[in-house]
Structure 1
Amino acid sequence: MIDHTGIGVADVTRSAAFYDAALGALGLRRVMQLPENDGADGVGYGVEHPVFWIDRFHPHGVKQHTAFKARSRAEVDAFHAAALKAGGTDNGPPGLRGTAQGYPRGYYAAFVLDPDGNNMEAVFREP
Structure 2
Amino acid sequence: MYRLTMEYAHHNHGESEDLGLFGAEEALDYFDKFDWKLEVERANELQRVSPTLSIKDEQNSRLIWLSAYGSSSSHDFVSECSFPGMVSHLFGLVKKNGMVFLHHDGFNRNDARKAIQCFVAWSEDELRRLYS
TM-score by length of 2: 0.26
Quick check: which has more Rg, 1 or 2? 2
TM-score by length of 1: 0.26
As a proportion of its length, which structure holds more helix? 2
As a proportion of its length, which structure holds more strand? 2
Highest relative contact order (Cα 8 Å, sep 6+), 1 or 2?
A: 1
